[in-house]
Structure 1
Amino acid sequence: MPPIPISGTLLKKYLLCGLSVALLAAASSLTPELQAATRTVTNTHDNGPGSLRDAIAGATRGDEIVFDPSLAGQPIFLTTGEFIIDNDLTISGLGQQQSILDGNGASRIFRITEGVSVALSDLMVRNGWPKECLADHRTRSEGGGIYNAGLLELDRCMVTQNLVDHRHSHCDDYYDSPESIRGGGVYNKGTLVLNRSAVDANAGGGIYSYGGGLYNIGVTVLADSSVSRNTGYWDRYEGLQGAGIYNEPSGTVTLLRCSVNGNIPAKAIENAGSLTVTDSTLAGNGYWRGGGILNRGLATVRETAIVSNWSGVGSDVGGISNWGTMTLERSIVGGNSGEYGGGIANRGVLRLINDTVNTNEGYWLAGGLSNTGTATVVGTTITGNRTGHTFAGFFSNNTGGIKNTIIAGNQDFNDPANADCGGSVTSLGHNLLGLTHGCDGVVDGVNGDVTGVDWTRVVENSSSPYGGLHVNLADNGGPTPTVALLPGSPAIDAIPESSCLDADGKPLLTDQRGVARPQGSACDIGAFEFAPPRGTGFWEHQCSGLGYVQLTSAQVQTLFDQVAGASPAFPECAPVGCGTLRLPTPKNDMRLKAERSLLGFWLNLITGRMTRGRPIDLPALTNAATAGEALAEVEMTVCNPNASRGDLGTAKEIAEAINNQGEDMELVSAESSTTVQPGTFRAFTLAVVNMSPDVRNYDLTSQGTWPVSLSPARVNGLGPGQIALFTTTLFVPGDSTNQIGEVLVTASDNNSAPPLARTAAIRILVSNPADSIGGGKVRPIPRR
C-alpha cells in the first residue's frame, strides 16, 4: 500500500480532531503531481553514488526516493553526520524491519528544515544520538532520531533506540541548561503526523530532560500509532519530564486510536499546551514521577482507558494529575496506584462526564479522585477504589460538585466508615452514595440524592479471591470497560428525564458506552444505563417485583390488558396476567410452556421491543419470514386443543428463539441474486428496519466485485418499527462476461451497545450480451 499523501484524507480526518485549516494549506505542497522523479538507493554506503545521502542531495522538489529490493534487511550506518532534508521529498522504504537507518550512536538520523514538506514511510530510524557543543561549552541534544522544523509525515515507521543526553558529549561543562535535552526519539517544532507508526524504546538522559519519546513545540498528530517503552534519567527529583510525550505551552498534540504504554520513570504524557486524546490506551507507565497524564495546560480525553499506571513512594499520582483545565469523557481510570493518589488528583479545573473511576489505590490521598481545585463530576461511577490512609473513593476540600454520580463500594483500610467520600462535597442532584460519614453536603432525600445504600445491591460484584466481594469491571460494550448496574439497583430510573443533564444544563444523551439515555422511564445514576433484556424472563421479573423496576405493577397490568385486546384468539386459549408467567409449570406440560412463551412474544410486540414486520430466519423451525407470520403460526398451534406435544414444543421454540434475539435492527434486500449484462448499470432496493424501542441512526456502506454506490449513505431519525428504503447501484464493466460477483451492503448502528451491523449479500451473474436480464426474487437470508 503506498504512503498516504499528507494533503489527502489523512489530514482531513485529523482536522475533525481540532487541527487548524492552516495545516491543509501547508500540506498542499506535497501533492502527487510534484513527485517529479524517482531516485533509487542501490547500496548501504553512508555517501557516494547510489547512497541515500547522495539521493537526498540530488533530489529536487517533489521527488521520491525508494530502495532497491536487494537492500532488504541491510542497515545503513551513518558515519558522516545526519541527513539534512531541505526540499520537499518522499522517502519510501521496504518496511520497518527491511529499511533500517542507524545513527551509529554518533549523530541524529534526520533533520527536516523549516518550510519543507517530507513524507517518510516503511523505515526504521534507530540508534541516533545528537551531540552539539554550544558557544558557552554547554551541550544541546535535541531529537535523537528526528529533528523536524517543517511538515513531516511518518507512515508505518519505527523510531527506536535513540537518545538525547548531555553526558559523554565532549563539552567542557558537565551540567547543561535544563532546556537543552529534548526529544529522545523525535523533536518537533513544525507540523508532525505519525500514522501507523511507533516511537519505541528511546531515552532522554540528563538532568531535567524533556520527552523520552517525543518532544513537541509545534503541532503533532498521532493516529493508529504507539509511544512505548521510552525512558529517561532515573533521578527521583530532577528526572525526565514526560517519559513518552512532552508538550510545551505553545504546542498542540492529538492522539487518535493510539497506545502509550510502558514508558518510565515519569508520566507517560506531560502536557503544558493543548492535548486531545481519543479512543486510546495509556497503560503500564510511571515510576518516580507519576504514571498516566500530567496536565498543566488544556486537555480533552475521550473514550480512553488510563489503566495500570503507577507512581513510586514519595511521588505523584498513578493515573492523572491535573493542574490545568481538563475534560474526561466516556473513559475509564482504573487500576492505577500512587502514594499521593491512585486514580486522579485535581488541583486545577476538572470535568468528568460519563466516566468510570475503579480499582485505583492511593496511600495518602484518595484512591479514586482527590480534588483540591474545582472538579465537576457528572454521570460517573466511582467504585472499588482503595486507600490505606483516608477516603478511598472521593475527597474534596474545594469547589465543584457531583451530579448523577455513584460513589459506593470503595475501601478504606484505615477507617472503613470513611471509605466512600470525605471533605466538603457539593451535590448538584441525583447522586447515590454508600458511606457519607466523612463528607458534608450530600443528604439522603435532598436534591434527589440517595445515601447509606448497600453497594452490593447497586453494581455487579463477585467473590474476591482475597475474601469478601469486589466490583466487576467488564467489557459491557462501548469503547471502554464499565461497571454494570444490578437488576433492581436503586440507581435505575432514579433521575427524571428533565434532570438527565450535565453541569451546563445540556442533555446527557448516552452513557459511557454510547447507550441512549434513558432506557426505562427515567435515567440511571452513574456511567451505566441499564437496559432490560428481552424474552419471557424479563416479564417474569416484572411480575415478581423482585428484580427489575422499569415498570410499575399498574403499568404491567396495562400491558396485559393490551395483549388481551390485541388478538381475539389469545384470551380464549390462555389466561392473561402475571400468574401465567409465575405459575409453576410441570416439566411435562408442554402446553403451559408454549402459552408462557407466546405471552412473552405478545408483550415484546406490545412494548415495541419487537415489530411484527421484523424479518426472521429460523429455517429449522418455521417458514415464516416475519415476526408477524411467526406469531400467527404460534397462536394457531397453542390455541388448537388437539395440537400434539411435538407441535406445541416447536411453537414454544419459535417464540423463545424470537424473544431471546437481541438484535434491534435488520437489513433486507428485494433480491438475493440476479443476472446483469456487461457494460450496464443495475440498481437494487434494500430496506433497513428499526426493531428497537428508540429512534436510531444508521450508517450504510457497500462494496462489491465491481464499482458500487449508495443513496443515501446514512439514515437519520428512524423511529421504532419504521422501515427506510435505499438503493445501491452497480456498474458491471464490458469485459466481465460470464463472471460471477457479489455486492455486500452493510447497515451499522455504532451507538448501540454492543454496536450492531447487518450485511445483505446480492449474488451477481454477468450474462452474455445476447442473454436476457433475469433474476430470482427469493427471500434473502441476512448475514449475521
Structure 2
Amino acid sequence: MSTINVTNTGDSGAGSLRKAIASAKSGDVIKFAPKLAGKTITLKSQLEVPAGLNLTIDGGNAKGLTISGADKHRILLLQSTSATPSRLTVKNLTLADGYTSDRGGAISTEHQGQVVVENVLFKGNKADKGGGAIFTAFEGTLSVQRSKFIGNVAIADNDERGAGAIAFWGPRECTIVGSLFRKNRGINGGAINSLNGKLTIKNSKFFDNDVSAASYDNGEPNPSLRGYGGAIYADRASSTSEPSGTIKLLNTIFDGNKGRAAGGAVYLYTGGQDNVVIDDAVFKDNAVTGLRGGEGGNAGALMVMSNEINRGLKLSNAAFINNTAKGQGGGIWTMNSPGLITNATFSGNRVTGKDTSNVGGAMTLYSPTEIINSTIAKNYAGWVGGGISAGDGNNVSVKNTIFYKNTADNGSNDWGIQQHTNRELIDKGGNIQYPPKATNLGNDYNATANVKLIDPKLGGLELMDGMYVYPLQKGSPAIDKGVNGAPKTDQLGVKRDGEPDIGAFEFGTASRSRTLSVSPSPLEIEGTREGDRLRGSKQGDTILGLGGGDTILGGAGDDGIVGGRGNDELTGGSGRDSFVYEAFRDRSDVITDFNPRKDILNLLSLFTGNDFSSDRPFKKYVQIQQEGDNVVVKVNPLGDRQPGTFERLATLENVSAEALGVQNVITSVSMLPD
C-alpha cells in the first residue's frame, strides 16, 4: 500500500487526480496537497476506477476541496465484475455538479462494486434515471457515514428507480449513519430508493426532500408506480430467494418531506420474509397529495405494506406530528404488516379529503396491530376515525393508551360519529379517552368497550430532548394507572416505575445510568439509550452516546463525538476533535477540554430547514458568552420563527470566549470538518 499525492487541480497530466487513479494499485490511498484547500478540480470527463482495485480517495489534507462534474459529466465510475470486484472509499471531499443521462451523477458502480463514503458533501448532482448522487449496482454494498446530500436531482426520465440522492440495488447492505439529506428530488424516494436492500439508517436527518415531479407514465410496465416516498422508497428488504430481510430506521428525523402517490416521508414495500424496525424517530410536517391516475395520497408520513403477511413492523419511541394525507392515514398506513407500536405520540396529523374513504387521522391499519403506552391526540380525519381507522378483520388492540380530542368531520354531514376510532378496538386494559363519544347512535363508538372516559389532563405538546411528547400534568388520572406489560422506559427513554403511567410519557421519574464496556475501535463506538461510559482508541474514532447522561473520552486521534440526548460529559482528548450536535435535544453537555486552536463544534444539523434562512448563521443563531472560567454556547432552536430566542447548548470548561470564533463552529454545508 502506498500514498499517491495530487498536487494540482488539472484534469489530467502529472500531479492530477486522473493520473493518480490511473497509476494506483489495490490498497493505495490518494491524498491531496494542503495548497488545494478550498479549490475545485473541474473534470472534462468522468474518472474511472478499474475493476479489481481497493482504492481510497481522501481529501482530509485539503479542507474544502471540491471535485466538480461541471454539470456535464459523472464524477466517478467504479468498474467492477463478479470475477474482479472493486471497493472505493471516498472521504473528506465535496462532489458537486455531476451529471449523467443514466444513473449515479456523482458516483456509479458496476456489478458487486463496494462504496464507502465518509464525511462527503454531495451537492447539486443530477442523474436522469436515478441516483442523483450515488448509484450502487446489483450485489454491491454501500456505507455512508457523516455525509451530506444537498439538492441532488433525478427526475428527468420519470424513472421508477429515480432516487434523488441514492439509488441502491441489493440484495446486500446499504447503511447510512449520521448523515443529512436536504432538498433532494426524485421520482420514487426523494432521497433514497432501495431495491431488495438490507437498509439501515441511523442518527440521520431528512429535510424537505420530495417526489412532486412524479407523474403517471403511460407506456411503462408500471405506469402508476411513481410518486412514492418523499424521502425514502424501499422495494423489499431481500430478494425472493433469501429467507429474510430487515429495514431499520433508528434515531432519525423526517421533516417537511413531500410524497405524491403514498408515503409523505417513507414508503416501505416488503416481502413476506421481511420485517421493519423503527425506533427513536420523529416524523413531522410531511405530506402526501395523491398522484393523478395513481394512488390517492395515503400515509402522510409512513407506509409499510406487503402483498402477503410479512414478518412485522416494530415501531417504538416515535413521534408523528402534523403530517398530512389527502387519502388515508395522516400519520401511518399499514397493510399485511403485523404491528407492535409502543411509546408513540401522534398529534396534529390530518386526512384532508372528505369522502367515505378518507379515514384514519393518525393511523389507518389494515394489519393486526398492538398499540401499547401511546398517546393519540388532536388528530383529524375528513370522514371517520380521527385517531385510528382499523380495517375489517384486523385485530387492533390498545393497552395503556390515551385518546384525546381526536375529531372527524363525517364529510359534510353533522352526525358527530366515530371521532376517535371507526370501530371498537380490542381492550387490553389501562386506556383513557376524552371526550366520550358524542351520540347514542348504533354506529358510533368509543375507542374500546371498556375505555375509561375521563380527561387525562395532558400538558401542551412539548419538544423534550428532541422528542415530541404530551407531558402529564400533576393530578392526571393517567399517573400510576397503567396495567402490567408496559415497556420498561417511556418515549424519552426514562425508566418507568412499578406503577406505570398511561400514555407515552412517564410522570416524575428519572433515568438510571449504566456503564458500557467497549473495545477500542478506529471506526465507530455506540452507546445505549441509558447513561454510558465510552472510551475511544488512539485512532480517529466516531463515538455515539445516544441516550442518557454519558461520559465520553475520545482519546488520541481526530475524533467525532456525538453525545446524543442527556447531559453528557465530553472529553475529546488529544487530536483535532469534532463535537457534533445532530438535534437541539443533544443540549446541556459539558466539554472538558475544548481547544480553540483545533477543535470544532459541528452545529450544521441544527440550522437546516425552512426556519434557518440566514446566510450568516453563526452571527444570527449562535451566541458565545463567558461565565467565569467557562464559555457557554447558546443557539436559537427556533430560528427565524422567533429571532433572539437563545438557549444553552453546551458549556466549554476553562476556555476564553475571546479565543472562539466562526472558525470553531460549523454552521453551513460549505464548512465541512476535517
Shift of the alpha carbon at 1:511?
1.0
Q: Which moved more, 1:327-336 or 1:428-437?
A: 428-437
Aligned partner of 1:699 among 517, 528, 532: 532
SS of 2:99's equivalent in the other structure is: coil
Matched to 1:500, the amino acid is: G
CA distance change for structure 1 residues 375 and 439 in 2, over 3 Å: closer, same or farther?
Answer: farther
Shift of the alpha carbon at 1:357?
1.0
CA distance change for structure 1 residues 697 and 375 in 2, over 3 Å: closer, same or farther?
Answer: closer
Aligned partner of 2:202 among 246, 252, 256: 256
SS of 1:57's equivalent in the other structure is: helix
For residues 536 and 97 of structure 2, what CA distance do their matches in structure 1 show?
Answer: 44
| TM-score (structure 1 length as normaliser) | 0.55
| TM-score (structure 2 length as normaliser) | 0.64
Q: Which runs of 5+ in 1 are unaligned?
A: 1-35, 132-140, 166-180, 233-239, 461-471, 502-507, 533-661, 668-695, 708-713, 715-727, 731-743, 747-752, 762-782
Aligned partner of 1:309 among 286, 294, 306: 286
In the alignment, what sits opposite 2:269? 296
**1:212 maps onto 2:164 in alignment:** yes
Shift of the alpha carbon at 1:304?
0.9
SS of 1:355's equivalent in the other structure is: strand
CA distance change for structure 1 residues 317 and 161 in 2, over 3 Å: closer, same or farther?
Answer: same
**1:481 maps onto 2:471 in alignment:** no
SS of 2:21's equivalent in the other structure is: helix
**1:428 maps onto 2:428 in alignment:** yes
For residues 4 and 64 of structure 2, what CA distance do their matches in structure 1 show?
Answer: 18
Shift of the alpha carbon at 1:699?
3.4
Matched to 1:193, the amino acid is: S
For residues 40 and 592 of structure 2, what CA distance do their matches in structure 1 show?
Answer: 49
**1:511 maps onto 2:458 in alignment:** no
Shift of the alpha carbon at 1:246?
1.0
Kindly provide the CA deviation profile for residues 179-218 of structure 1, in whole angstroms up to 9, marking residues without a partner as x: xx23121112322111111122111121334211111123
Shift of the alpha carbon at 1:287?
4.1
In the alignment, what sits opposite 1:62? 27
For residues 281 and 699 of structure 1, what CA distance do their matches in structure 2 show?
Answer: 23
CA distance change for structure 1 residues 309 and 144 in 2, over 3 Å: closer, same or farther?
Answer: same
Matched to 1:105, the amino acid is: D
> Is this contact kept in 2: 1:82–1:103, CA < 8 A?
no
In the alignment, what sits opposite 1:684? none
Q: Which moved more, 1:404-413 or 1:97-106?
A: 97-106
> Is this contact kept in 2: 1:396–1:424, CA < 8 A?
no
Shift of the alpha carbon at 1:418?
2.8
In the alignment, what sits opposite 1:41? 6
Shift of the alpha carbon at 1:701?
5.8
For residues 285 and 255 of structure 2, what CA distance do their matches in structure 1 show?
Answer: 5
Alignment of 1:292-371 (within 5 A): 292-297=265-270, 298-312=275-289, 314-324=296-306, 325-340=312-327, 341-349=329-337, 350-363=339-352, 364-371=358-365
SS of 2:199's equivalent in the other structure is: strand
What is the percent sequence identity of the aligned residues? Answer: 25
Alignment of 1:601-680 (within 5 A): none
Aligned partner of 1:51 among 16, 23, 28: 16
Q: Which moved more, 1:101-110 or 1:430-439?
A: 430-439
Aligned partner of 1:241 among 188, 195, 203: 188
SS of 1:55's equivalent in the other structure is: helix
In the alignment, what sits opposite 1:185? 133
**1:84 maps onto 2:49 in alignment:** yes
Kindly provide the CA deviation profile for residues 306-328 of structure 1, in whole angstroms up to 9, marking residues without a partner as x: 11101125423211112143221
**1:159 maps onto 2:122 in alignment:** yes
**1:195 maps onto 2:145 in alignment:** yes
For residues 362 and 409 of structure 1, what CA distance do their matches in structure 2 show?
Answer: 15
Matched to 2:249, the amino acid is: V
SS of 1:318's equivalent in the other structure is: coil
Aligned partner of 2:396 among 395, 400, 409: 400
For residues 41 and 324 of structure 2, what CA distance do their matches in structure 1 show?
Answer: 43
CA distance change for structure 1 residues 441 and 361 in 2, over 3 Å: closer, same or farther?
Answer: closer
Aligned partner of 2:381 among 357, 382, 387: 387
SS of 1:529's equivalent in the other structure is: coil
> Is this contact kept in 2: 1:183–1:215, CA < 8 A?
yes
Shift of the alpha carbon at 1:703?
10
Structure with higher helix content: 1
Kindly provide the CA deviation profile for residues 528-549 of structure 1, in whole angstroms up to 9, marking residues without a partner as x: 11127xxxxxxxxxxxxxxxxx
Matched to 2:298, the amino acid is: D
Matched to 2:343, the amino acid is: N
Kindly provide the CA deviation profile for residues 235-290 of structure 1, in whole angstroms up to 9, marking residues without a partner as x: xxxxx1111111112x1111111001111124211122232111110111014234
> Is this contact kept in 2: 1:96–1:157, CA < 8 A?
no
In the alignment, what sits opposite 1:523? 500
> Which structure exhibits the higher relative contact order, with contacts defined as CA atoms closer than 8 Å and separated by 6 or more residues?
2
SS of 1:208's equivalent in the other structure is: coil
In the alignment, what sits opposite 1:615? none
Aligned partner of 1:442 among 444, 448, 452: 448
> Is this contact kept in 2: 1:283–1:306, CA < 8 A?
yes
For residues 54 and 313 of structure 2, what CA distance do their matches in structure 1 show?
Answer: 37
CA distance change for structure 1 residues 703 and 120 in 2, over 3 Å: closer, same or farther?
Answer: closer
Query: RMSD in angstroms over aligned alpha carbons?
Result: 3.5
For residues 147 and 120 of structure 1, what CA distance do their matches in structure 2 show?
Answer: 13
Kindly provide the CA deviation profile for residues 525-573 of structure 1, in whole angstroms up to 9, marking residues without a partner as x: 11111127xxxxxxxxxxxxxxxxxxxxxxxxxxxxxxxxxxxxxxxxx
> Is this contact kept in 2: 1:231–1:264, CA < 8 A?
yes
CA distance change for structure 1 residues 459 and 95 in 2, over 3 Å: closer, same or farther?
Answer: farther
Shift of the alpha carbon at 1:343?
0.8
Shift of the alpha carbon at 1:512?
0.8
Structure of greater Rg: 1
Alignment of 1:459-608 (within 5 A): 459-460=458-459, 472-477=460-465, 480-496=467-483, 499-501=484-486, 508-518=487-497, 522-531=499-508
Kindly provide the CA deviation profile for residues 623-663 of structure 1, in whole angstroms up to 9, marking residues without a partner as x: xxxxxxxxxxxxxxxxxxxxxxxxxxxxxxxxxxxxxxx99
Shift of the alpha carbon at 1:400?
2.8
CA distance change for structure 1 residues 195 and 760 in 2, over 3 Å: closer, same or farther?
Answer: closer
CA distance change for structure 1 residues 228 and 95 in 2, over 3 Å: closer, same or farther?
Answer: farther
For residues 14 and 361 of structure 2, what CA distance do their matches in structure 1 show?
Answer: 62
For residues 754 and 184 of structure 1, what CA distance do their matches in structure 2 show?
Answer: 31
Kindly provide the CA deviation profile for residues 492-521 of structure 1, in whole angstroms up to 9, marking residues without a partner as x: 22124xx224xxxxxx21111111122xx6
SS of 1:517's equivalent in the other structure is: coil
SS of 2:427's equivalent in the other structure is: coil
**1:286 maps onto 2:271 in alignment:** no
> Is this contact kept in 1: 2:130–2:159, CA < 8 A?
no
Kindly provide the CA deviation profile for residues 344-397 of structure 1, in whole angstroms up to 9, marking residues without a partner as x: 112232221111111111122221111122222111111121233322111112
CA distance change for structure 1 residues 221 and 665 in 2, over 3 Å: closer, same or farther?
Answer: closer
For residues 511 and 56 of structure 2, what CA distance do their matches in structure 1 show?
Answer: 48
In the alignment, what sits opposite 2:243? none
Kindly provide the CA deviation profile for residues 128-160 of structure 1, in whole angstroms up to 9, marking residues without a partner as x: 2223xxxxxxxxx12121113433221110122
CA distance change for structure 1 residues 402 and 85 in 2, over 3 Å: closer, same or farther?
Answer: farther
For residues 483 and 66 of structure 1, what CA distance do their matches in structure 2 show?
Answer: 51
CA distance change for structure 1 residues 441 and 51 in 2, over 3 Å: closer, same or farther?
Answer: closer
CA distance change for structure 1 residues 95 and 332 in 2, over 3 Å: closer, same or farther?
Answer: farther
For residues 157 and 48 of structure 1, what CA distance do their matches in structure 2 show?
Answer: 25
For residues 589 and 398 of structure 2, what CA distance do their matches in structure 1 show?
Answer: 36
Shift of the alpha carbon at 1:71?
2.6
For residues 379 and 484 of structure 1, what CA distance do their matches in structure 2 show?
Answer: 13
SS of 2:115's equivalent in the other structure is: strand
SS of 1:475's equivalent in the other structure is: strand
Between the two proteins, the alignment pairs up a number of residues equal to 470
For residues 15 and 177 of structure 2, what CA distance do their matches in structure 1 show?
Answer: 34
SS of 1:418's equivalent in the other structure is: coil
In the alignment, what sits opposite 1:378? 372
Shift of the alpha carbon at 1:422?
1.4
For residues 143 and 334 of structure 1, what CA distance do their matches in structure 2 show?
Answer: 33
Matched to 2:428, the amino acid is: L
